[in-house]
Amino acid sequence: MSDSTQETRSVRLLRVGEQVRHVLSDVLARGDVHDDVLASHFVSVTEVRMSPDLRHATVFVKPFLGKDEEVVLKALRTNTAYLQSEVAKRVNLKYAAKLKFLIDESFDEGSRIDQLLRDPKVARDLEPDNDTAED
């Protein structure tokens, strides 16, 4: 496969993933899913990764303030069929993508790294030495 074909394919995966993310965000924000848990939580769809054949979508979500992650994840998984049908209606694909929901851990990881960088021991190591600055 040529580089331009691979690049086009990867751009398409990103574009379709973004379309799916937009549809899911819209459905959840409007409260179209009739579920008490989802109605009482603001859920952010942070990323959607599509498989190369566009038949599977891994959906990364984060409940507002990170509260009740497992409860929200269970509610999303319970309502997967409805959410898949909404995506199929709004995103023009040959096959309806199967959705798999996961909690987005990237915010927690970023926060942990930020906390490490603010540690006084690490900050001391990151400061430039006065000896080398004068050279």
Q: How far lies 106's CA from each of 30, 66, 110, 111, 114, in Å?
A: 25, 12, 6, 8, 12
Q: In angstroms, what CA-CA distances link 22 with 10, 87, 133? A: 18, 9, 49
Token pair of 130, please? 């006065």
Is residue 112 helix, strand or coil?
A: helix
What's the angle, vertex CA 80, arms to CA 75 and CA 84, rounded to 5?
150
% of the chain beyond a pLDDT of 70: 76
* Mean pLDDT on 112-131: 66
Are the C-beta atoms of residues 60 and 46 closer than 8 Å to each other?
yes
Measure the CA–CA gap between 112 and 128, rounded to whole angstroms: 23
pLDDT given at position 129: 62
Determine the Cα–Cα distance for residues 69 and 76; give it in Å rounded to an integer. 11
Residue 120 binned pLDDT confidence (cut-offs 50, 70, 90): confident
Tell me the pLDDT tens digit for each residue of 52-108. Answer: 999 999 999 999 877 789 999 999 999 999 999 999 999 999 999 999 999 998 765
* CATH code, 3-104: 3.30.300.20
